[in-house]
């Protein structure tokens, strides 16, 4: 068995270093089996912070989530905090989701922080990621941490680092933390023995404080009173949503909430689904069955750490249909723009790969909409930089993450569930369904449809393949796509926008959620848009396609929908993606 020298050197370090006997035995077993693929994937690199922090499969190795990679990340984080706040009393809040090993990884991190003289405020049981974001700001912490892998398969876990504003770390902190982590060359540098005198367990008071922020977001309490019997089916998909979504809906006044019992108990094996991802219809099967049984008005489901939410609505043919992330983000903004008492200083924010329908609706109301790189930390960065000058109305991203108001600085499925229920009640109060509300939005603003192709390329070979795909796209812009000529290329890696008709280049302005990033966008002459982006947290490259057309009436919904779907398919085919 032959491994590259860097991989072999890392394996040798783990076998000869002060790692526990079980870890070494597992490595030796992989060597004995000649499992070169697993050994390479486990040791060829170290986990790095991406758009969502550090995330990977659990197991032995520098490229896996385990006590040592969690330990190194936390020691590096602690070193950076102590260097950044010299002479100050440093506080860190920590939460975790329902995944296997999450409680253990959480306690390891808490011990390392306290061993480094940092006070830790720890949730004694699982809690949603957005509540951690809120808690960091509420308690005046310098940082925060969530042990979670969001909606990834059960084999994964992860590490989300937060800064003092409640946002996931951004430059320069993210890169500086990585430097500190990489500076740890031996696990002897990690202080695993905690100081319990610096450990504080949080209680229900922080839950109540967080829930009050959701109550503040409510725009139409009188509508909810009239529609208190709105039939809502909710599933936490074995995750943290069970802790706060039902209480949030009850606080607003919704009295007919049915929780999917089979998915109500937290379980890191996610036994009732293939993937605990509310973007997938399969994950909502039980919720949809319950909705049919009770003739519900709305289905909502949250991912394991309750920062993403999926929703389903009954269409005119009586079948239940999942709304995608672009549709729900648009509906939330459509509702907020319609019913909010706008003062003239509000703004919205979304990512550059999220539907331009939001930009159009905001422009019609005179509300600025800032476009950021993918990753909610960039939306949080805009909120931070405009704090005290402009008021954040709401925003989101196509990957099922939304935020209302600025009490939290990350995507918030708990608050989003509450807002989705409210806007559904608003529609029903007018004799409409959520589907009717969706069609109404499209009639007013054009029918926008987005398609996504996500290609998984695992391991070192996969990473190299993704790199080559981006190189090819940059150097070979197609002459036409679906019969339309590309007229502009936005290359966020080089921060340059190129007019393909004139050859003129202009810089892409850095700031307010924009920095250099490996993203390319093609703008077509007919207004369609194609975006390509390697994921920062998963072994994937994603291609986003956006098209739109007028919708003259709700009766034409499915006709126009089919036409737009067909056009997206043609674009994807012309780009060699299908």
**Which active-site residues does the annotation give?**
150
What does the alpha-carbon distance between residue 171 and residue 169 come to, in Å, rounded to a whole number?
7
* Block residue for tokens 């391991």: 459
Name residues whose C-beta falls within 8 Å of residue 528's C-beta, 6 or more positions apart in sequence. Answer: 481, 482, 484, 545, 546, 547, 548, 567, 571
Local structure of residue 510 (DSSP, 8 states): P
Q: How far is CA 467 from CA 28, 45, 514, 540, in A?
A: 32, 16, 21, 11
Q: What is the DSSP string of 258-288?
A: EE-GGGTS--TT-TT-SS--TTSGGGGHHHH
- Per-residue tokens: 295: 């003739």
What does the alpha-carbon distance between residue 102 and residue 95 come to, in Å, rounded to a whole number?
9
Neighbours of 103 (CB within 10 A): 17
Q: ∠ at Cα 63 (62, 66), nearest 5°? A: 70
- Per-residue tokens: 455: 């290609």
Q: In what order do the strands lie in the sheet with 298-302?
A: 257-259, 232-235, 298-302, 309-314, 320-323
Neighbours of 131 (CB within 10 A): 31
* Block residue for tokens 């706060």: 244
Q: Which of 531, 539, 515 is nearest to 571 (CA)?
A: 531
Q: Which of 272, 535, 567 is nearest to 449 (CA)?
A: 567
| Dihedral sign for Cα atoms in the order 424, 430, 433, 436 | negative
What does the alpha-carbon distance between residue 30 and residue 39 come to, in Å, rounded to a whole number?
7
What does the alpha-carbon distance between residue 140 and residue 166 come to, in Å, rounded to a whole number?
10
Name residues whose C-beta falls within 8 Å of residue 64's C-beta, 6 or more positions apart in sequence. Answer: 42, 47, 56, 57, 58
The answer to whether 578 and 572 have CB atoms below 8 angstroms apart is yes
What does the alpha-carbon distance between residue 213 and residue 229 come to, in Å, rounded to a whole number?
23
């Amino acid at each position: 068995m032959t491994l590259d020298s860097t991989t072999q050197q890392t394996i040798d370090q783990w076998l000869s270093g002060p790692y526990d006997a079980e870890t070494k035995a597992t490595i030796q077993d992989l060597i004995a089996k000649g499992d070169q693929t697993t050994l390479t994937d486990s040791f060829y690199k170290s986990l790095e912070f991406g758009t969502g922090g550090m995330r990977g499969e659990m197991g032995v190795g520098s490229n896996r989530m385990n006590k040592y990679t969690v330990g190194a990340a936390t020691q590096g984080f602690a070193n950076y905090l102590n260097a950044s706040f010299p002479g100050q009393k440093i506080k860190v809040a920590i939460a975790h989701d329902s995944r296997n090993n999450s409680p253990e990884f959480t306690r390891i991190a808490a011990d390392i922080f306290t061993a480094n003289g940092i006070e830790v405020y720890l949730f004694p049981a699982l809690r949603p990621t957005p509540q951690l974001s809120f808690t960091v700001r509420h308690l005046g912490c310098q940082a925060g941490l969530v042990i979670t892998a969001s909606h990834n398969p059960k084999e994964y876990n992860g590490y989300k680092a937060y800064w003092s504003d409640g946002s996931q770390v951004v430059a320069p902190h993210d890169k500086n933390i990585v430097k500190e982590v990489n500076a740890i060359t031996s696990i002897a540098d990690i202080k695993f023995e905690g100081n319990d005198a610096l450990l504080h367990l949080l209680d229900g008071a922080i839950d109540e404080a967080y829930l009050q922020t959701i109550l503040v977001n409510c725009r139409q309490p009188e509508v909810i009173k009239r529609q208190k019997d709105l039939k809502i089916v909710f599933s936490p998909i074995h995750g943290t949503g069970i802790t706060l979504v039902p209480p949030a809906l009850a606080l607003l006044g919704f009295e007919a909430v049915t929780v999917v019992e089979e998915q109500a108990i937290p379980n890191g094996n996610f036994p009732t689904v293939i993937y605990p991802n509310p973007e997938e219809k399969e994950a909502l099967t039980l919720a949809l069955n319950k909705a049919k049984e009770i003739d519900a008005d709305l289905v909502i489901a949250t991912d394991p750490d309750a920062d993403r939410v999926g929703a389903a609505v009954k269409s005119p043919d009586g079948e239940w249909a999942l709304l995608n992330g672009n549709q729900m983000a648009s509906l939330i903004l459509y509702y907020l723009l319609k019913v909010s008492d706008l003062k003239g200083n509000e703004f919205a924010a979304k990512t550059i790969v999220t539907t331009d329908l939001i930009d159009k609706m905001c422009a019609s109301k005179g509300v600025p909409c800032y476009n950021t790189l993918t990753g909610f930390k960039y939306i949080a960065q805009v909120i931070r930089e405009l704090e005290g000058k402009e008021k954040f109305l709401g925003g989101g991203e196509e990957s099922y993450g939304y935020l209302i108001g600025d009490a939290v600085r990350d995507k918030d499925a708990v608050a989003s569930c509450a807002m989705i229920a409210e806007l559904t009640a608003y529609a029903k109060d007018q004799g409409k369904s959520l589907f009717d509300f969706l069609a109404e939005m499209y009639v007013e603003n054009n029918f926008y449809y987005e398609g996504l192709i996500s290609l998984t390329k695992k391991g070192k070979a996969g990473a190299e393949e993704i790199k080559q795909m981006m190189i090819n796209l940059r150097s070979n812009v197609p002459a036409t796509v679906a019969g339309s000529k590309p007229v502009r290329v936005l290359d966020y890696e080089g921060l340059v926008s190129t007019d393909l008709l004139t050859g003129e280049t202009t810089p892409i302005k850095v700031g307010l959620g924009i920095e250099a990033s490996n993203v390319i966008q093609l703008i077509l002459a007919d207004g369609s848009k194609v975006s390509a982006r390697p994921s920062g947290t998963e072994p994937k490259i994603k291609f986003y396609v956006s098209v739109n057309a007028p919708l003259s009436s709700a009766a034409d919904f499915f006709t126009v929908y089919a036409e737009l779907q067909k056009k997206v398919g043609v674009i994807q085919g012309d780009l060699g993606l299908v």
